[in-house]
Amino acid sequence: MDRESFIHLTKPAVTSSTTANPLQVVICAQALFAILDHSLRRSPDQERVIGTLLGVRSEDGSEIEIRNCFAVGHNESQEQVEVDMDYHKQMYNLHLKANPKEILVGWYATSPELNTFSALIQNFYASNGDGTYPYPAVHLTVSSNPGKDITCRTYISSSVGITPDRAADSCLFVPVPYEIKYAENERNALEALSLGRTSLDRQVSNIVDIHGLEVGIVELLEMLNRVSSYVSQILAGETLPSVAIGQTLMNSLSLAPKIDAPELEKLFNTHLQDVLLVSYLANTIRTQIDLSNKLATITGTLPSQPQKTENKRQRERE
């Protein structure tokens, strides 16, 4: 993901508000998908759409994990902005029922632009009462311009303005760092989804284990090639050697178990035979069940043949 570099310093503790403390934002991939989906579903005359971000905040408030989001309708014109606050509240309550742990942490918009309306909305989300006060509200912008990279930016705000009137409708957006995270299961799902990223119809069908295996093997071979070409480059004196990398390679190579070939082959074959036997038994059980049900519908009795298979299997497992 494209990111800008910026420096983030803790302000000296002069103000009582905690809203400008640096914090780390973690975005779950799922929320991004939801935002993009919302962006696709906006009406043609809408420049951007907004929604509420839900997530978890660490105890000291220094880390925010954006886990979920929902869309909120809004209307923007030259002069004014209207956000459906009742809708926001209703949706928020509904979401809380399903996921009591995920609380309000901020809002998103699907345009990288920040304008006066952004400040107004930001101040609502960060406000006392319905908002995230005393914690800062996170503003996430996800650009979804066709033909461009999808860029995310996360901001928190700090109030500016001399009079309370001015402060109410303006704020200073402070960029904060973020990272995109996914759990192991989500990662697997993403991988399956990304199989379709190169196909024209953007679909993935026939999700089979073998596919993952193939991808894994190809990747592994690539890595091995990279390592071996690197090593031969060093041997030829073309690149600078690195002790650390050498040591790591050495360590990995020494992980190979030292068993003599016949022993290894024997172990292998036993394991293989076990696996094949289990597979055979599973198929036998299927046949037995089929047979048992066929007989059952004919005579009205369920003969208890599977017993035999079961005993066999138990013996095998022991």
Binding to another protein, residues 48-87 (CB under 8 A): 49, 67-68, 71-73, 84, 87
Contact 138, 106 (CB under 8 A): yes
Q: Which of 115, 127, 252, 279 binds another protein (CB under 8 A)?
A: 279
For the chain, what is the radius of gyration of the CA atoms? Answer: 29
Candidates 25, 28, 54, 69; binder of another protein (CB under 8 A) is: 28
134 or 216: CB nearest another protein = 216
Task: List b or e across 121-140, with b for residues whose CB sees 16 or more CB atoms inside 10 angstroms.
Answer: bbbbbbeeeebbeebbbbbb
Site for another protein in 119-138 (CB under 8 A): none
Q: Are strands 74-76 and 24-28 parallel, antiparallel or unpaired?
A: unpaired
Q: Tell which positions 93-112 bind another protein, by CB under 8 A.
A: 94, 97-100
Binding another protein by CB under 8 A: which of 18, 158, 170, 292? 292
Segment 134 to 173, residues that bind another protein, using CB under 8 A: 144, 146, 149-150
Nearer to another protein, 80 or 197 (CB): 197
Contact between 227 and another protein per CB under 8 A: no
Provide the minimum distance between the beta carbon of 73 and another protein in the complex, in angstroms, as a whole number. 6
Residue placing its CB nearer to another protein in the complex, 133 or 211? 211
Segment interacting with another protein (CB under 8 A) among 8-16, 58-66, 160-168, 204-212:
204-212
CB atoms within 10 A of CB 180: 14
The residues pairing with 57 across neighbouring beta strands, listed in sequence order, are: 64
Residue selected from 160, 167, 207, 224 as contacting another protein according to rule CB under 8 A: 207
Task: For residues 156 and 164, give the distance between their C-alpha atoms in angstroms, rounded to a whole number.
Answer: 20
Collect all residues with Cβ–Cβ distance below 8 Å to 51 and sequence separation of at least 6.
Answer: 35, 38, 69, 70, 71, 72, 107, 108
- In the bound state with another protein, the residue whose beta carbon lies nearer, of 44 and 164, is 44
CA dist 289 and 306 (Å) reads: 7
Contact call for residue 22 and another protein (CB under 8 A): no
Among 47, 113, 169, 179, binds another protein (CB under 8 A): 179
Distance from C-alpha of 49 to C-alpha of 69, rounded to nearest angstrom: 13
| φ, ψ of residue 310 in degrees (nearest 5) | -60, -45
Helix (H, G, I), strand (E, B) or coil at 157: strand
Q: Using the rule CB under 8 A, which residue among 62, 116, 229, 293 binds another protein? A: 293
Pairing of strands 24-28, 63-72: parallel
In which residue are the tokens 């293989």 written? Answer: 272
Binding test (CB under 8 A) with another protein, winner from 8, 11, 15, 41: 41
Of 57-65, 126-134, 154-162, 206-214, the window that binds another protein (rule: CB under 8 A) is 206-214
Using rule CB under 8 A, residue 213 touches another protein? yes
228 is an interface residue for another protein by CB under 8 A: no
Size of the site for another protein (CB under 8 A): 112
Euclidean distance between CA atoms 246 and 134, whole angstroms: 51
Cα–Cα distance for residue pair 265/149, rounded to 1 Å: 51
Task: Give the tokens for residue 228.
Answer: 């071996």
Q: Which residues ranging from 248 to 267 are in contact with another protein (CB under 8 A)?
A: 248, 260-261, 264-265
Question: What number of residues does the chain have?
Answer: 318
Site for another protein contains 312 (CB under 8 A): no
Q: Considering only residues 187, 227, 232, 252, which one is a binding residue for another protein as defined by CB under 8 A?
A: 187
Binding of another protein by 8 (CB under 8 A): no
Q: Which is nearer to another protein, 15 or 283 (CB)?
A: 283
**Exposed, middle or buried: residue 168 (CB in 10 Å: 0-12, 13-18, 19+)?**
middle
